[in-house]
Amino acid sequence: MFQQDDLPKILRKEVIASLHDGIVRIHNRRIYPGRDEYMYVSSVQEIADAMQQMVTQGGGILRLSLVALLFIAEQMAEGKIPLSQQEFIRLLSLIKNARRTNTTSHRILDSLTSSLSLEGAFSNAELLLSLSRSKVEEVEATFDTIYDSMSDLGADLILDGEGIFTTCFAEHTFILSLLKAHRSGKDLHVYVPETRPYLQGARLTAPSLQELGIPVTLISDAMPAHLIQKGAVNRYMSAADTVCMDGSAANKVGTLTNAVLCSHYHLPFHLFAVSPDQSKLSMEDIEIEYRDPEELLTFRGERISAVGVHGIYPAFDTIPPSLITSIITPRGVLRPQDIRMKYVPGEGL
């Protein structure tokens, strides 16, 4: 099992988000690595706003969602929020609605709420807080085990001498796969597209790999085709924000372009999915988040196009199963058509 110290700093639990004395501390990924700072918030609405504003994103949303649940339970135990299951659900809905496409954290929060209700937690505030803490620890231990096993599978797929490219910031499963392959002696090189407009590839993925000593080169979002054509890149790997029962997926916008590219050049295209969404039959069921076009039209507060030019910013792509080589899951490396057989609705993780 990996240890927290094996991870790059920004993937460590206490760095992503933590709760101390009624204050939630969130590592601000919007400004990292230029500035290594935290945001401090003290209400559920402020936590939801931080999510919506991309202070954290990707897998960080799960950690912050769990911290938000603990925050609500603590506030109820201290009498600052009325003890009520209805109020608990209402406040968690603010967190769930902050980012709508990636549903893993939504389903975990729903499962935890149900479990707390069954154990009578909403009849006693101290019981609610105690059970919430133990259940969050269980969830995080489960996910650590999942990250560990999935990264074993991912590392096995990587061949010695390969160039790998990705999209955005794929976090634990992808980063640990690369780390394990690197530590096993495999020669590999990772090409990281910058990921406009938030530059997560440039600001999060590339510095994380550099921190771990993994060879990495930053490229623009338009360069993968050139590198594939020249033979520098051999494989694609990324996390998926959502995987449906037919094997289709959603991930950061740009992923579909990369999938088409890999298909044309006959490169393997792999996605990591810690928890396929059993409620979504196909990509038609995925709610794609459209963000404010101003995020595309400005950079660090300065407009990058003429006044009056309009923009559009779909935050995610949907990728059909025909373009996906395999999906790396806690239940194995699966072909897209195998997802439906391995994941039965109602079974959970």
Residue 102: band (very low, low, confident or very high) from pLDDT cuts 50, 70, 90: confident
Encode burial over 197-208: b for 16+ CB neighbours within 10 A, e otherwise. Answer: bbbbbbbbbbbb
Q: What is the pLDDT of residue 7?
A: 97
Q: What is the pLDDT averaged over residues 74-87?
A: 98
**Sequence spans of domains, the chain:** 4-146, 152-342
Encode burial over 54-74: b for 16+ CB neighbours within 10 A, e otherwise. Answer: bbbbbbbbbbbbbbbbbbbbb
Specify whether domain 4-146 bears CATH 1.20.1250.20.
no
Distance from C-alpha of 190 to C-alpha of 167, rounded to nearest angstrom: 11
Q: What is the pLDDT of residue 101?
A: 87
pLDDT at 63 over 90: yes
Catalytic (active-site) positions = 241
Strand order in the sheet with 38-41: 17-20, 23-27, 38-41
Q: What is the pLDDT of residue 155?
A: 98
Q: What is the pLDDT of residue 349?
A: 62
The whole-model pTM stands at 0.95
Distance from C-alpha of 342 to C-alpha of 190, rounded to nearest angstrom: 31
Q: What is the pLDDT averaged over residues 77-88?
A: 98
**Domain range 152-342, CATH architecture:** 3-Layer(aba) Sandwich (3.40)
Lowest-pLDDT range of 97-106, 182-191, 321-330 = 97-106
